[in-house]
């Protein structure tokens, strides 16, 4: 009782130089998505620009044999600044696959006129009127985080300099 496969799911990524990397050929859409998501978690290690999951129907000739389930573009994440922010333009959603970031944007499930965005690390959630506004909200959050890090670093350096100078000002005992 051999089960015949009527369609296959093919996840792939496109490198900056235009080279396409096929990530496999699977009989299950779920497995194809799992493989693609696992690969995207390492996307900051490569220069990737696009990815997709395509369904191929077996024994069909011509364009009707192929259906693109999803096509995404890679951008710099507005929060963590790594090139791990994957945007699905057809479905108005985006997700950072960077380690410990997971910033996201998606259409509101109740009101399609609202675009939600968030950053799980601090439970940040904001509702916006447009995708551009959502991206801007995440950029502002990223800027605040970066400036807080710089300020903390500057304060630590200042404290170290003060303590170093205080040690130098102490009278030397012989």
Go through 147-169 and write b for each residue having 16 or more CB atoms within 10 A of its CB, e for each that does not.
eeeeeeeeeeeeeeeeeeeeeee
For residues 75-85, give the mean pLDDT.
92
- Dump pLDDT digits (tens) for 46-70: 899 999 999 999 998 888 999 999 9
User: Could you give the CA distance from residue 79 to residue 40 in angstroms, rounded to a whole number?
Assistant: 17
Predicted confidence at residue 63, as pLDDT, reads 87
Report angle CA 70, 51, 34 to the nearest 5 degrees. 75
DSSP H helical ranges for 20-83 = 29-40
Predicted confidence at residue 34, as pLDDT, reads 96
Task: Please say if the pLDDT value at position 100 is more than 70.
Answer: yes
* Domain range annotation of the chain: 1-75, 77-168
Q: Distance of alpha carbon 119 from its chain centroid, rounded? A: 11
Task: Please say if the pLDDT value at position 95 is more than 60.
Answer: yes
Predicted confidence at residue 173, as pLDDT, reads 46
């Amino acid at each position: 009782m051999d089960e015949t496969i009527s369609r296959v799911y093919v996840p792939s990524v496109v490198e900056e130089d235009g080279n396409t990397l096929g990530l496999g050929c699977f009989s299950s859409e779920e497995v194809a998505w799992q493989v693609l998501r696992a690969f995207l978690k390492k996307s900051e290690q490569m220069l990737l620009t696009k990815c997709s999951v395509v369904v191929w129907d077996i024994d069909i000739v011509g364009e009707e044999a192929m259906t693109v389930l999803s096509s995404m573009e890679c951008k710099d994440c507005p929060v963590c600044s790594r090139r791990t922010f994957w945007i699905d333009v057809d479905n108005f959603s985006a997700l950072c696959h960077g380690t410990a970031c997971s910033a996201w944007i998606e259409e509101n499930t109740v009101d399609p006129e609202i675009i939600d965005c968030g950053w799980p690390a601090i439970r940040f959630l904001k509702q916006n009127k447009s995708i551009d506004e959502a991206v801007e909200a995440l950029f502002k959050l990223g800027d605040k985080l970066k400036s807080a890090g710089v300020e903390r670093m500057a304060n630590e350096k200042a404290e170290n300099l003060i303590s170093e100078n205080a040690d130098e000002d102490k009278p030397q005992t012989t």
